[in-house]
Amino acid sequence: MTGQEHSEGSAPAIRLRLLATSDLHMHLRDHDYHTDRAFGTGGLARIATALRNARAEARRDGRAVLLFDNGDALEGTALAEACMEDPARHPFADAVAELEFDAIGLGNHDFDYGLGALSEVARRIPCPMLCANIVPAAPSQVLPFRPGVILDVPAGDDTLRVGVFSVLPPQTAIWNRDHLDGLALAQPAETAAARIAAGLRRQGADIVVALAHMGLARAASATDASSGHEDAARSIASLRDVDAMIMGHAHVAFPGPHYSGIADVDARRGTVCDIPAVMPGMAGRHLGVIDLDARRDPLTGRMRVINHQSRLIDTDAHTTPEDPRIIRIAYPAHRRVTRQLGRPVGHWHLALHSYLSFLPGDAILDLVARAQSAAVRAHVPSDMPLFSAVSPMKTGARSGRWHYTDIPAGPLLERHLHDIYPFANDLRLLVLTGAEIADWLEHAAGIFNRVMPGQRTTPLINADLPGYHFDVLHGPRYRIDPSQPARYDMNGTRIADSHRIHGLTWRGAALPARMECAVVVNSYRANGGGHVAALLAPRFVALPRMSVRDALRQYLRDAPSGATPPGAPWRFASLQGTGGTLRTGPGLRRHLPDPARAIDLSVAGEDEDGFLNLAVAF
């Protein structure tokens, strides 16, 4: 398969356009439920307009069209949570029918509400729902999706048989352990993809399209999906039976510069292992387009791709109006949710923003940590330390310069709680030793790039890691030394014998390695999310079910009006003449100077993407 056309006798070329969405996260409309205003870009309603234009263009060009979604459509906003209260009437199913999707691939977050809710949605979706590497745990178990499907597409005088399959990160079975244990198992993505792609070929598929809900790993050692890496799309693209690939999960735009410099990837042309590929970002900000020309060999009858092109269509508000059909479908649920989110839940005396969540003394992390501790304190023995683990949630990065929490001091509404804590995670209470806690903190400190002594311009944050990788433990005190190599990589593999965590203490004394401590944490991390080696076999303390947001509501009802200032359980090690740069949202300007922050920082200007750059001194 190449990007150049070849002569194949007199057989005419068959022209096909693949259109794709991914990681919609229930953004049916261009609306930010945290701030109750429009984003100005994205949403399925804008995608619908771009889709209508792309289909019309394809018809003029003589191309058949297929439309796919590549997962994580059902979770991600307050609208998503509300719609899953009655999944049998889910508006996404109505949108799928209205826009005539041809197949839906599943992502890891589509399992967040359990197989029962997913089954209810699947019953109403009028096209195949696909996932090849989540399989029944027992022969009697029936799952609400198929591994793959063959779609017969009329193409002139011929019929093109397009095989489509979907795979997702095998970690889905860990992240959704509460919903999948005993019901479904995860297989390595590459193994499942090779099996189903070959099977689709044997069943007569002319072209095979992979819906790979995963991105591209930069490290060569992480290219093999069978190793368990969640971003192993290269392994899928390298399979001989795969002709084109839709990627997802990583929330980046491809073709585009983010994946430049990776082996076997042409980020400009949009190819991975020489096959066409797209990743349509997230939240409906892009529509992915792959145009394929194929010709059937007159001797063998086998179809071969002779030309291809990959691109993205942006859904900017200035060029892409929202489709009234999708607005109409979303309106009843949208109206109900916006009313619910306007309810008052309490008051907080400090502004709450996430612009500096990677620096000591963050008010949001402090508030969530206090609420978690208060919610479980009655379940912890009086002689056992109680620590609270929290991590940043909205930190810009791939989601853009406005993806931060920014709430003024004063009344808090329900939508503010969703802004502070976007995920519907429950609380878990673990028992860990001091040694396990120290090891966990070493893993968390991997969010920082290594900064050599005397340097001042190194970016502080490893852009390949999600912000929620950075767990902060409230209760103990400790220092982080980013001049040392990271001890763990993002997959929890130990890569160095160094230590970044120093001075780990509790109540002024060194935390004993064998001391047992209670740690309250969210269910995602407790179930294995983030690959923290110290949490592979946690010991749980039974708790009544309570979400993190429930804990926040209760704490805000009970908290005294004059609550103490936020604590800073950690600080950077003192490194004279050393520092780094922190990329954050331009909204931080409203909060500077910040005398409560015991750290030296200054504004160094904005970059071409509109992010604010800070100089941070250790």
**pLDDT tens digits along 458-508:** 999 998 888 999 999 999 999 999 999 999 988 889 999 999 999 999 999
pLDDT band of residue 563 (cuts 50, 70, 90) is low
Instruction: Tell me the residue length of the chain.
Output: 618
Residue 471 has what pLDDT?
Answer: 98
Q: Is the pLDDT of residue 222 over 50?
A: no
């908290």: which residue's tokens?
A: 559
Task: Measure the CA–CA gap between 326 and 93, rounded to whole angstroms.
Answer: 11
Mean model confidence pLDDT for the chain: 92
- Quick one: DSSP state of residue 282? S
> Which tokens hold the place of 471?
């767990």
Closest to 207 in 3D by CA, of 247, 241, 240: 241
Q: Which residues pair with 211 in a beta bridge?
A: 166, 246
Q: Is the pLDDT of residue 9 over 70?
A: no
Closest to 121 in 3D by CA, of 78, 73, 180: 73
Q: Is the pLDDT of residue 187 over 90?
A: yes
Q: Is the pLDDT of residue 225 over 70?
A: no
Task: Measure the CA–CA gap between 125 and 119, rounded to whole angstroms.
Answer: 10
AA letter at 480: I
pLDDT band of residue 218 (cuts 50, 70, 90) is confident
Domains annotated for the chain, with CATH where assigned, are 14-337 (3.60.21.10), 344-617 (3.90.780.10)
Minimum mean pLDDT range among 8-17, 70-79, 287-296, 587-596: 8-17
> Which tokens hold the place of 326?
């999708």
Q: What percent of the chain has pLDDT over 70?
A: 95
Closest to 81 in 3D by CA, of 33, 35, 42: 33
Residue 464 has what pLDDT?
Answer: 83
List the 612-617 sheet strands across, edge first. 579-584, 612-617, 600-606
């701030």: which residue's tokens?
A: 35
| Rounded-to-5 percentages of helix, strand, coil across the chain | 30, 30, 45
Q: Is the peptide bond before 360 cis (omega within 30 degrees of 0)?
A: no
Residue 3 has what pLDDT?
Answer: 44
Number of neighbouring beta carbons within 10 Å of residue 112: 25
The region that residue 389 occupies, defined by phi over 0 for left and psi between -120 and 50 for alpha, beta otherwise, is beta
> Which tokens hold the place of 437?
């806690």
Q: Please, what sign has the CA dihedral across residues 531, 533, 534, 535? A: positive
Residue 299 has what pLDDT?
Answer: 80
Residue 2 has what pLDDT?
Answer: 44
Q: Is the pLDDT of residue 300 over 90?
A: no
Task: Find all residues with CB under 8 Å of 79, minimum gap 6, and list them.
Answer: 26, 28, 33, 330, 333, 334, 337
Burial class (CB in 10 A: 0-12, 13-18, 19+), 418: buried
The region that residue 112 occupies, defined by phi over 0 for left and psi between -120 and 50 for alpha, beta otherwise, is alpha
pLDDT band of residue 538 (cuts 50, 70, 90) is confident
Task: Measure the CA–CA gap between 273 and 266, rounded to whole angstroms.
Answer: 8
- Quick one: DSSP state of residue 360? S
Q: Summarize pLDDT for 326-340 with one digit per residue, the tens.
A: 999 999 999 999 999
Run of H or E including 374: helix 363-376
Of the ranges 257-266, 290-299, 395-404, 548-557, the best mean pLDDT one: 548-557
Task: Find all residues with CB under 8 Å of 415, minimum gap 6, and list them.
Answer: 33, 34, 35, 36, 78, 341, 342
Minimum mean pLDDT range among 13-22, 143-152, 396-405: 396-405
Burial class (CB in 10 A: 0-12, 13-18, 19+), 574: exposed
Q: Summarize pLDDT for 122-173 with one digit per residue, the tens.
A: 999 999 999 999 999 999 999 999 999 999 999 877 889 999 999 999 999 9
Q: Is the peptide bond before 593 cis (omega within 30 degrees of 0)?
A: yes
Q: What percent of the chain has pLDDT over 90?
A: 82
Task: Measure the CA–CA gap between 550 and 534, rounded to whole angstroms.
Answer: 27
Residue 615 has what pLDDT?
Answer: 94
Task: Measure the CA–CA gap between 74 and 419, rounded to whole angstroms.
Answer: 18
Between 48 and 576, residue with greater pLDDT: 48
Task: Measure the CA–CA gap between 51 and 328, rounded to whole angstroms.
Answer: 17
Q: Is the pLDDT of residue 376 over 50?
A: yes
CA torsion, points 432, 435, 439, 441, in degrees to nearest 10?
Answer: 70
- Tell me what the mean pLDDT of segment 306-324 comes to: 94
- The three state secondary structure string of 381-443 is CCCCCEEEEECCCCECHHHCCCCECEECCEEEEHHHHHHHCCCCCEEEEEEEEHHHHHHHHHH
Between 536 and 435, residue with greater pLDDT: 435
